[in-house]
Every structure is written in C-alpha cells, then in structure tokens.
Amino acid sequence: MSHLGYPRLMPFDRDHVLRTAAALLTRKSTATMDEVAKAAGISRATLHRHFAGRDALVRALEALGIAECEGALERARLDEGPATEGVRRLVREIEPAAGLLAFLYSENQLFEGDGQNAGWERIDARVTALFRRGQDAGEFRIDLSPAWLTEALYGLLAAGAWSVLDGKVARNDFTFMIAELLLGGALRREES
C-alpha cells in the first residue's frame, strides 16, 4: 500500500485536498501544514501555492462546510411537510459533512469578536425557522427556544461525529440516534 510504483506528478485537485484536510483536521485539529500536505499526497510548497496560509486553508474549509450545509438544507426541503420530517431529512443529508462540521464547530470559537461569517448566520436562520415552524404547527414544544434547539442540533451532530470517530457508536446509527434523541428525547413513550 505504501507506494504504487508511480510517484508521478499529480495535478492539483482542490476538492480532494480540502476533503483530505477536513478528514485529518477532524481527527487532529492541530495538524501542521506539512501533515495536511502529506495527507493530501502533495508537497507543502504546492499546498502553500493554493492556500496562502493556514488561515486561508481553514477559511476555505469553512466555505466548504457552509456550502455542504446549504446543499443539505436544499435537499432536505425544510419547507415541505411536517417539521419533524424536515429535521430527520436534514440530519440525514448533513451526515456526510458531520466530521467537517464538528471540526469547524470547535474551531469557530476563535472567530468570536470579528463578526462571524455571514454564511453561518443564514444557515442558523433557516434551521431556527424550521424549529419555529414546528412550534407554530404544534409539533414541537414551545418551552425550548428555537435558538437552543438549533444549538443543540449542532452539539449533537458534533457529539455524534466524534463518537463515530472514537468507535463508541456505529456509523450506521448516526442519523437515527441524533434525530431520535433531538426529537423524542431519552424518555420512553407510553405507546398507544
């Protein structure tokens, strides 16, 4: 597996580099530019040719995360049908990006003070609106604010992603666990 015999010159694949970096930084948020480059199979020089520095790389990852989120929001069609099903679709669609989001979730603590990226605000607004719609429709309880439900969703996504990475839970259970806990909670229902 180490070398395939062709240490040839690879053309630069921006998307591949970003996704590899996301996967690495999710596991090791302090990885150096050199480690990122090696993980992506390119040289540090090339990495630096395309991303001015670590900040630029993280910002590109943030943009990727925002794009993935907005794609998931579109595919989940949050405006259609019951809000409950919208939440389930959202969790399902966002699952592939959960690792990247978990990294950004812990990294974004640094962005306080300089006004966070407008992209996150738009995403927040759409998710919050979903929970508010569910409350107005009588599906969701009204004693938990939409803002908190949104933050709780993020926290559960990150917890789920890390739990999968640590092998504490099975990847196949990811969507079910998060959606079920967020929607129904831990308490057993009295079945009708």
Where does this chain bind DNA (CB under 7 A)? 7-12, 32-34, 41-46, 48-50, 52-55
144, two tokens: 């938990």
| CA distance to 1, 27, 68, 91, 169, per residue, from 166 (Å) | 24, 9, 23, 20, 8
Give the integer Cα–Cα distance in Å for 39 and 30. 14
Maximum separation of any 2 CA atoms in the chain, in Å: 65
Note whether 169 binds a copy of itself by CB under 8 A: yes
Binding partner at 181 among a copy of itself, DNA, none, C-beta below 5 to 8 Å by kind? a copy of itself
Distance in Å, CB of 152 to DNA, minimum: 32
Binding partner at 97 among DNA, a copy of itself, none, C-beta below 5 to 8 Å by kind? none
Note whether 166 binds a copy of itself by CB under 8 A: yes
Q: Which is nearer to DNA, 46 or 84 (CB)?
A: 46
Q: Which is nearer to DNA, 53 or 81 (CB)?
A: 53
Cα 74 from chain centroid? Answer: 15
Strand, coil or helix: 142? coil
Q: Using CB under 8 A as the criterion, what x/- string covers residues 109-148 for binding a copy of itself?
A: xx-x------------------x--x---xxxxxxxx-xx
Q: Which is nearer to DNA, 37 or 123 (CB)?
A: 37
Query: How is residue 12 annotated by DSSP?
Result: P
Nearest to 79 by CA among 89, 91, 67, 92: 89
Question: Any idea which residue has 């240490």 for tokens?
Answer: 7
Note whether 33 binds a copy of itself by CB under 8 A: no
Binding partner at 117 among DNA, a copy of itself, none, C-beta below 5 to 8 Å by kind? none
Distance in Å, CB of 3 to DNA, minimum: 10
Q: Which of 10, 29, 75, 125 binds a copy of itself (CB under 8 A)?
A: 29
Give the integer Cα–Cα distance in Å for 71 and 92. 12
